Structure 1
Amino acid sequence: MRDPDQKRAPASPRKPAAGMTREERLKAALKANMARRKAQAKARAGSGADNNKNE
C-alpha cells in the first residue's frame, strides 16, 4: 500500500516556470511546433527523393 503521508506526483510532468506568462508559453509552444513540422517536412522530402531513385 501507499504511505498516506507521501505526496503524489503532479499529473503533468511539464510544469511551466512560474514567471512565464501565457503569451510566452504560447510563443515557446509555437516555436517548438514549427521546428517539429520543419523536421517532418525535411524527412518527407528526403524519403521522397529516395523513392524516385528506384524507379
Structure 2
Amino acid sequence: MSDQMTPKNPPKPPSAAQTREVRLKAALKANMGRRKQQARARKTPEDTGNNENKGQ
C-alpha cells in the first residue's frame, strides 16, 4: 500500500508549449482588462459632454 502513496516518477515540469500557452493566456487576460478599462474611460467623458450640449 505504501507504493500507492509515493509516486515512482516525480512530476515532470511543464513543456515549452504548455508554459507558452499559460503565458499567452495571462497576457490576453491583461490586455482585455486594459481594453475594457479604456472603453469605460472613453464612455464616461462622452456621457458628461452630451448632457452639457443638450441645453443649447
TM over 0.5: yes
The structure whose Rg is larger is: 2
Q: Which residue of 2 aligns with 1:53?
A: 47
Gap regions ≥5 residues in structure 2: 1-11, 50-56
Runs of 4+ in structure 1 deviating by more than 6 angstroms, as ranges, are none
- The whole-number CA distance in structure 2 between the counterparts of 1:33 and 1:19 is 21
Higher normalized helix content (fraction of residues): 2
TM-score for the superposition, normalised by structure 2: 0.62
- Percent identity over paired residues: 13
Gap regions ≥5 residues in structure 1: 1-17
Return the structure number with greater relative CO, CA threshold 8 A, min gap 6.
1
